[in-house]
Amino acid sequence: MKAMLLHEDRLFPSEAGALKTARALYAEIENLPIISPHGHTNAGWFANNGPFPDPATLFVQPDHYVFRMLYSQGVSLDDLGIGQQKIEDPRKVWRIFASNYYLFRGTPSRLWLDYSFQELFGFELRLSEKTADLYYDTIAEKLQTPEFLPRALYERFNIEVLSTTDSPTDSLSDHKAIRASGWKARILPAFRPDSVVDPEFVGFAGLIAKMGEQTGEDTSTWIGYLNALRKARARFREIGCTSTDHGHPTAQTADLPAAEAAALFSKALSGKTSAAENELFRAQMLTEMAQMSLEDGLTMQIHPGSVRNHNRKVFEHYGRDMGADIPAPTNFVNALRPLLDRFGNESKLTIILFMLDESTISRELAPLAGHYPCLRLGPPWWFHDSPEGMMRFRQQATETAGFYNTVGFNDDTRAFLSIPARHDVARRIDCAFLANLVAQHRLEEDEAFEVAHELTYSLVKKAYKL
Amino acid sequence: MKAMLLHEDRLFPSEAGALKTARALYAEIENLPIISPHGHTNAGWFANNGPFPDPATLFVQPDHYVFRMLYSQGVSLDDLGIGQQKIEDPRKVWRIFASNYYLFRGTPSRLWLDYSFQELFGFELRLSEKTADLYYDTIAEKLQTPEFLPRALYERFNIEVLSTTDSPTDSLSDHKAIRASGWKARILPAFRPDSVVDPEFVGFAGLIAKMGEQTGEDTSTWIGYLNALRKARARFREIGCTSTDHGHPTAQTADLPAAEAAALFSKALSGKTSAAENELFRAQMLTEMAQMSLEDGLTMQIHPGSVRNHNRKVFEHYGRDMGADIPAPTNFVNALRPLLDRFGNESKLTIILFMLDESTISRELAPLAGHYPCLRLGPPWWFHDSPEGMMRFRQQATETAGFYNTVGFNDDTRAFLSIPARHDVARRIDCAFLANLVAQHRLEEDEAFEVAHELTYSLVKKAYKL
Amino acid sequence: MKAMLLHEDRLFPSEAGALKTARALYAEIENLPIISPHGHTNAGWFANNGPFPDPATLFVQPDHYVFRMLYSQGVSLDDLGIGQQKIEDPRKVWRIFASNYYLFRGTPSRLWLDYSFQELFGFELRLSEKTADLYYDTIAEKLQTPEFLPRALYERFNIEVLSTTDSPTDSLSDHKAIRASGWKARILPAFRPDSVVDPEFVGFAGLIAKMGEQTGEDTSTWIGYLNALRKARARFREIGCTSTDHGHPTAQTADLPAAEAAALFSKALSGKTSAAENELFRAQMLTEMAQMSLEDGLTMQIHPGSVRNHNRKVFEHYGRDMGADIPAPTNFVNALRPLLDRFGNESKLTIILFMLDESTISRELAPLAGHYPCLRLGPPWWFHDSPEGMMRFRQQATETAGFYNTVGFNDDTRAFLSIPARHDVARRIDCAFLANLVAQHRLEEDEAFEVAHELTYSLVKKAYKL
C-alpha cells in the first residue's frame, strides 16, 4: 500500500519534453470552474440539501459503472443492495466492494474513485479488504458533517453550471425550490422528451395526455401535440434550460409531409405501430425537435446507438439503467440526411452528436461536423469517457473536425462525487493530447494554451449557450 | 547482417522509465510455464514422437501466415509445396522462402520465426538468399537429433498444458496413445463440433450418422442427436477435455421452441435447408451447446466472423485453411441476445468470445463482458495476435471490461515451433501495456506485477478450468 | 508569433532514440523525387503556364479541405468566392481565411499550408488577422514572377511523374500541348470512366454516345460499348497513361453472364434502371475494367465508400466537390468476391484498393491484400491522409499485409502548391513509423533504410508501372 492514491503527473505523457508541456498546460486550466452541461444528478439533492446516508448508498448503489463490473465477476446485485429502497446492511455491501476493488485496475472508475477518496476524504491507503472498515467509518462520519452536504460539495467542486436531465412532464419543483431558497448555484434542467416521442417508452400515451393537461393543448391531435411540446420547452426555458437531449436507439431522422406525420402520430398514440413505424416516428420527432430548436434556440443533443436494457432478466428484476445498455453499430451519414437536408446549413442551430461506436469518429462524425454549420461533436460518452477513449476521440476527430467543432467535456454522471474527478481526467487527457502535438511540432505552445482554455471552458459555454 | 536476431528489449516501450518497469515485469513472468488452451497442433506428433522431416515441411508448408504472404507477392503455391503430401525438393522451397524473407518485415511472423531461428537453432545471421543454405543445413541436421523430437521440444518449451482441437467423431487415439505411453505431458483435446452442427459443412449428415454409431444414439431424431452430442462431450471430458470451440460465420444465436428446432434439424439432415435456415440451425446449436456446458462444465469458445475459403480457386485446388479466410464485420450485441437471455446471468457458465473485427472491442465486446457474468474476452485472434493488435486489444478492452474479464493468451497455432515465440510476444506486450499504465500513474507497480502474473498464468487456468 | 512556421523535427517521435533514427531515415529520402501517380491537378496549368491569379484563388477557392472547415464554423461560401468564375474581392476572401486560420489547429491543412507559406514564400510569422495583408501582398507579388509559374514550380518541387485524372471522352489536348511544347516533364492522364460506367452520372447516355463517336463504335450495343472503352483506354495509353481510377459509392463487383450484362446495359442507357440495377451495372463494370486491365496492363485504382454531395443545398447551389462528400461504412470482403473469383489469382493484374472506413484496414483490407496476388493497398485517402490517419494505416495494415503490398503515397490533391507539403508529411510519418519499429527492435536499422526508400519511391513506381 502506498502513501498517496494519485500521482500529480497521472495521465501525462512520460517523455520529458511532452511531460513538461502537459504540466504547464494543466497548471493553467486546472482550477477553471466546472461547466457540467449534461448529466444525471438529482436536483432534489440540492433542493433538500440533506446528508448522503452512507458510503454504499453514495458510491455503489447509484453507479452502474461500479456494480456492472462487480456483477460481471459473479457478485450478485442483491448483495450490492441494487434495487433496494434502503440498503439493509451498507457496511456489508461496502466490504464486498472493497475486497473486489482490484477488479477496477486499468478502468476509469478506479481513477474517479481514488480521486474522491483522496481529495474529499483524505485517504492515503488504497481501498481493499483490509482498509474496508477504515474507509467505511471515515466516509460515514464525514457524510454527516456540514462540509459534505450537497450544496457545500457543489461549492467546493467549483461548479459554475450544472445541468440535470428531465422529462417534459416533470414539475421542475426541485429546480424551483433551489431558486426559491436564494442559493446562488446555477442548476438547470435539460429537456429530454424521449418518453413522449418514443412510442416504445412505457406509458407513452399517458405521458402525452399528461403533457396535454399541463399545457392546455389537445394532444390527441398532431398540431396540439407539437404545441404542447413547444409549451413544455418554453416552461423549461423560463427556468434557465438551454438544451434538449435525445436518447434514441439510432440516429435516424425523417422529414415526412405533415399529413403523414399526423397519421403516424395517431397510430402511435393508439399503440398499433410496428417497430419500423416506431422508428420512423422517433426519426420524424428528431426533425421536429430541430425545427423547434431553430425557433427557440435550445441546443440539441443526440445520444444514439445504445441497446437499452440488453439483459432481459436484470431489466425484469431491477428495472432500467442497471449497467446493461450495450452500444450497437451506428450510422450517421445516411440517418441524419433528412434532418440535414432541412436544417444542415443553419448556423444558428446547434446539434451536438454523441457516439458509442468509435468507428464512426473518423469515418462519419468528423467529416460531418467539419462541414455542416449546425453540427458539433459531443465528447466521448459512456464506456468511452475514459483516458484511452478520450485520447482516441481527439486523435480521430481533430484532424478532420478541428478543435472548434467540439464542445468540451460532459461528465454525464449519476455519481455526484465523481464530477470533479471526471473533469480532472478529461482536462489531463486534453493537456496530454495538446502536449503531444507540441512535442511533435504540430502546434505552437502559445496556441496549445489557448486551445486548452477553449476545451475546458469556452467551447462548452458557447455550444450550450450558457 | 547483425550478430543477434532478437534484442532483449524488443517490444518494450522506449521511454526510459516505462522500459525499466517493462523489463522488471517481464523478468518476473518470462519463465512461467506455457498454458496453451487453444491451438491446432497435431496430437500425432507427440504420440509418434518422430522427427520433423525438413525445414520447409516444418516452417513453410503448415504455416498459412507464411505462405499467404509469399503468395500475395506472386510466389506460386505449387513452388512452395503447398498441398503436396511430401515436398519433392524442400531445399528449393526453402530458398524461395529465404530470398523473400524481407516481405515479413514489420509482421509478427518475422518475430516468431526469428525467435525459433535464434532460440532453437542458434542462428545469429538474418535469413536471406545468402544464408538460405546455411539455415537449411543447420536446421535439417538438428531435426534429426533427439533434442528436436516433438516430446523433447514440448519439454524444452516448458508447456504445462497443450490443447488440440478435435472433431466430435475423432477417435482421440493419438491422445490415448500419449497417455498409454506413460509420458507425463498434459495434452488435451478440445471439442469442436462445427462439422456436426453446421449444415454447410461437407459431409454433415454422414458425420452425424457416424456420431450416432459411435454413441449408440438414433441421430436421425433431434433428441437422439442432442444425446449423441452429450455422449461425445462426455467421451472428450473423460480424457481431460475442458473446453469446446465453435467456429461460426457469425455470432448469431437462437432459442427456438423444441418442436421448431427438431423440425429444422430434420430438414438440415435432409440437405434441403436454405442459407438462412443453416444460419438459424447453427445459431440454435450455440444455445444448445451453452446448455450442455452449463450441465457438464466445459468452457465454451466462440470464434465468429471469418469468411472461410474466400479464394474459390485456391479452395478448389488446395482445400481448406490455405490463408484465404477473411474476416467480415461481426455483430455481437444483437446476435448473442437469444443465448444471453437464457444463460447470460449464469456465473457458472464460461463463454469466451473471440473477435476478428476490432471495431467491436470497445463498442460491444468490452461492454458485454463487463456486465454478463458468463462472458469473458478471448485474446486477439489471427491477424490480430500481433504486437499492435494485442496492444490495441488491451487499450480498447481494459477500461470497460477490466483485466479480469480476459483470459490470458492463446497461441492458436498449427506451427508447433512458434508456440514459445508467440507466448513470448504476448507476454512482452502485456508487460509493455502494464508498464505504460504505471508510467502514466494509472496503476501502482505492485499491482502491475500481480496483473502480469494473472495475464500470463492464472486467468487462463481459471477460465479454461485447467 | 514565432520565427519559423515549421520545426525541422515535426511529426517525428519525441523519445530521443527514435527521434535520432527518424532524422537519419528522413535525411536519406527527403530529397527523392516526387512520384504523384494520382491527383486532380489541371493539365491546362502546365500547357498554358500562365500565372496563378491571386492568393485567394490559389489557396482558398480550389481547396475543399480549407473552405469546408470555414463553412462548418459559419462562414458563408459566397463570402469565400466559392462557385464564382472570378473572385470579385480576393483580398477580402483572404482576410476571412486569415482571421479564421486558428480553426485549422491540429489539422493536416495547417501543416500543408504552413509548408507552402514558409518554403515557397518565405514567411516566418504565422498567418492571422494581423498578418493577412502582409501575406496577401507578398504572395500576390511573387505569383507574378517567373519562379512561380506552374512549370517553374513543377521543377522546383522535383516532380518526376505527375498524373491527372481524366474522363474517357476528354480530348487530352492539354496533355498533347505539353508534349508538343517540348517541355520535358512527365505529366500523364489517368483513365477515370465513372461518367460512362455509372448510370447515375449526369449525362451518362450522352457521354457514352460521345465516346461512340470518338471511337467509331456503336455504343448502343454492349459489345460496341466495351470496344469503345477499349479504344478510349488505348488512346490514353498512347499518351503515357498507366492507370485507371474508379470512384464508386461501394466496392461492389459483379460477374454477370454476357447476355444479362448486355440487357442491363441497354436498360441503363434508356435511363430506366432502378437504384439496385445501377449498383449492379457499376459492379459489373468494375469486373469488365479488370478484364481490360489484364489485357492492356493498366493498373486499376478503386476509391469506394464516399457518399458524394451529401449536402443537398450546397450541391444545388455550388455543384460537385464542395467538401460535402462523407464516407460511409464500406464492405470489401463480400463486395469484391465476384471480381476476385475471376481475377484474384492473376499476379499480372494490379488493383489498388483505397479506403475511407478505417475499420476495414485490419479487418478486411490487410487480410485481402496479404493473400490475393492482384491486390495492393492504396495510401490513406481524404480525411485520412493526415499524420494520425497515416500512422494508423501503417499500424493496422503492416502486420498482416506487410510493407510490400502497399504502394507509396498519393497526394490526390487539387491544390498544386500542397503537393510537396503532402509528400513531406507522408515521408515524415513513414520515417516515424519505421523509427518506432527500430526503437522497439522489431526491425533492424539497415532494413528500415531500405523500406523507407521503397515506401517513398520504388513501390509506387512498380505498382503504377512508371
pLDDT digits (tens, 9 = 90+) for B233-289: 999 999 999 999 999 999 999 999 999 999 999 999 999 999 999 999 999 999 999
Query: Taking the CB of residue A240, how many other CB atoms lie within 10 A of it?
Result: 16
- Average pLDDT rounded to a whole number, residues B145-174: 98
Q: If you search the block for the grid coordinates 491543412, which residue do you land on?
A: C109
List the chains bordering chain A where 3 or more Cβ pairs fall under 8 Å: B, C
- Average pLDDT rounded to a whole number, residues B369-392: 97
Grid cell, residue A115, equals 480521486
| pLDDT value for A81 | 95
3-state secondary structure of C101: helix
The H or E element spanning position C214 is helix C204-215
- The reply to whether C328 touches chain B by the CB within 8 Å rule is no
- CA distance to B315, C333, C397, per residue, from B309 (Å): 6, 12, 21
Tell me the C-alpha distance between B73 and B68, whole Å.
Answer: 9
Tell me: pLDDT of B149 over 80. yes
- Average pLDDT rounded to a whole number, residues C335-362: 98
Give the β-pairing of A299-302 and A243-246.
parallel
- Average pLDDT rounded to a whole number, residues A388-408: 98
Asked if B442 and A11 come within 8 Å (Cβ–Cβ), the reply is: yes
DSSP letters, C380-408, are P-TTSSSHHHHHHHHHHHHHHHTTTTB--
CATH homologous superfamily of B51-148 equals uronate isomerase, domain 2, chain A (1.10.2020.10)
Asked if B333 and A326 come within 8 Å (Cβ–Cβ), the reply is: yes
Percent of chain B residues past pLDDT 70, beyond the cut: 99
Within chain A, how many helices (H) and strands (E) appear? Answer: 22, 9
- From chain B, the residues in CB contact with A104 under 8 A are 402
| pLDDT value for C3 | 56
pLDDT band per the 50, 70, 90 thresholds, residue B1: very low
pLDDT band per the 50, 70, 90 thresholds, residue A4: confident
pLDDT band per the 50, 70, 90 thresholds, residue B3: low
Nearest CA to A303 out of A459, A165, A463 is that of A165
- From chain A, the residues in CB contact with C126 under 8 A are 444
| CB contact set of B158 (below 8 Å; sequence gap of 6+) | B31, B33, B34, B420
Tell me the C-alpha distance between A332 and A305, whole Å.
Answer: 10
pLDDT band per the 50, 70, 90 thresholds, residue B321: confident
| pLDDT value for B320 | 86
Q: Could you tell me the fold of the domain covering C52-148?
A: uronate isomerase, domain 2, chain A (1.10.2020)
Tell me: pLDDT of B437 over 50. yes
The H or E element spanning position A222 is helix A222-238
- Average pLDDT rounded to a whole number, residues A367-390: 97
Burial (CB < 10 A; 0-12, 13-18, 19+), residue B275, is: exposed
End-to-end CA distance of chain A: 44
Tell me the C-alpha distance between B409 and B463, whole Å.
Answer: 11
In our burial notation (b when 16+ CB lie closer than 10 A, e otherwise), range C91-106 reads bebbbbbbebbbbbbb
Q: State pLDDT tens for residues A254-267.
A: 999 999 999 999 99
| pLDDT value for A3 | 55
The H or E element spanning position C313 is helix C312-318
Asked if B441 and A357 come within 8 Å (Cβ–Cβ), the reply is: no
Phi first, then psi: what are they for B295, rounded to 5°? Answer: -75, -50
- The reply to whether A380 touches chain B by the CB within 8 Å rule is no
Grid cell, residue B151, equals 516430446
List the chains bordering chain C where 3 or more Cβ pairs fall under 8 Å: A, B
| pLDDT value for C276 | 98
| CB contact set of C285 (below 8 Å; sequence gap of 6+) | C193, C197, C198
Instruction: Provide the shortest C-alpha distance from residue C107 to chain A (in Å).
Output: 4
CATH homologous superfamily of A157-463 equals Metal-dependent hydrolases (3.20.20.140)
Tell me: pLDDT of A89 over 50. yes
Give me the residue from B331, B347, B402 closest to A69, CB to CB. Answer: B402
Give me the residue from B105, B327, B328 closest to C402, CB to CB. Answer: B105
- The reply to whether B328 touches chain A by the CB within 8 Å rule is no
Tell me the C-alpha distance between B452 and B26, whole Å.
Answer: 8
Q: Which chain A residue has its CA at the smallest distance from B444's CA? A: A2
| pLDDT value for B322 | 87
- From chain B, the residues in CB contact with C397 under 8 A are none
Tell me: pLDDT of C313 over 70. yes
Domain ranges of chain C: 52-148, 150-463
Tell me the C-alpha distance between C323 and A126, whole Å.
Answer: 52
Residues 80-119 on C with a CB inside 8 Å of A are 102-108, 110-111
| pLDDT value for A323 | 83
Asked if A310 and B396 come within 8 Å (Cβ–Cβ), the reply is: no
B178 and B47 Cβ atoms separated by less than 8 Å = yes
- From chain A, the residues in CB contact with C387 under 8 A are 399, 440, 442
| pLDDT value for C1 | 43
Tell me: pLDDT of C294 over 50. yes
| pLDDT value for C419 | 97
- The reply to whether B356 touches chain C by the CB within 8 Å rule is yes
CB contacts < 8 A (A, B): 127
- pTM of the entire structure? 0.97
- The reply to whether A399 touches chain C by the CB within 8 Å rule is yes
Number of residues assigned to chain C: 466
Tell me: pLDDT of B433 over 50. yes
- Average pLDDT rounded to a whole number, residues C195-224: 97
On the question of a common fold for B51-148 and B157-463, the answer reads no
Domain at C150-463, CATH class: alpha beta
Tell me: pLDDT of C285 over 90. yes
Percent of chain A residues past pLDDT 90, beyond the cut: 97
| pLDDT value for A1 | 43
Q: State pLDDT tens for residues B177-223.
A: 999 999 999 999 999 999 999 999 999 999 999 999 999 999 999 99
| Mean of per-residue pLDDT scores for chain A | 97
Instruction: Provide the shortest C-alpha distance from residue B347 to chain C (in Å).
Output: 32
Sign of CA dihedral A250, A251, A252, A256: positive
